[in-house]
Amino acid sequence: MSQRRSRSLQQRFLEEVARIVVEEGLNDYQRAKRKARRHLGLGADHPLPSHEDVEAAVLAHQRLFRDEAQRASLARQRRTAVAAMEMLADFQPRLVGPVLSGAAADHEAVTLHLFADTPETVEWFLRDRAIPFDLEERRLQWGKRGVERFPALCFVAGETPVELVVLPLGALRQPPSSPGEARPLARAGLARVRALLAADGD
């Protein structure tokens, strides 16, 4: 395959991944990559694009096809993130994922990493405020340490799902790896999320 054709195919691949993420609401980038590979009839050995490249393609797709609606949805999600982070300030919350990057789909969950001695501390906090939640589990990659499982407390604020992934205090200084990447996961504190929301024009 020529270099030009290879670049063209990889661009089609990225565009299909972005379409699946945005239009089908499949927020798991790894699954979206594999689904796009099947849609395009590519072999299982065809290399998958990086998480970073997919995120850029999702943002481009949203700008092209859903600009105004996506901006309104993202502003709502970031307002929810700010409110949740203010409420949970004692747990030093950090926003992660598509709501931070701007690549969030309409019904994307606001994902916050919280830091506590025990997950029960966060559970008691929510129960004291009569906030119902489901207890789930999230898998995070920590470089050479491999994949580790952490509790996630999930609830809905208005129309927006929120998931609180509770990590040990030591994880505040050492973020997990970005999914499918070796680089650290991007995350932001309350001041930065407020700044993002202000930049959204809210």
| SS3 label, residue 167 | strand
The answer on pLDDT for 2 being more than 60 is: no
How large is the average pLDDT for residues 52-79? 80
User: pLDDT tens, 48-57?
Assistant: 887 778 778 8
* Pair of tokens at residue 122: 């966060």
Comparing 95 with 45, the larger pLDDT belongs to: 95
Tell me: pLDDT of 144 over 80: no
pLDDT of residue 67: 67
Q: In what order do the strands lie in the sheet containing 160-167? A: 134-141, 147-157, 160-167, 110-115, 94-96, 187-188
Structural domains present in the chain: 3-65 (no CATH), 68-199 (3.30.460.10)
The structure tokens listed for 123 are 């559970």
In this model, does residue 124 exceed pLDDT 90? yes
Mean pLDDT of the chain: 85
CA triplet 21, 71, 80: central angle to 5 degrees? 90
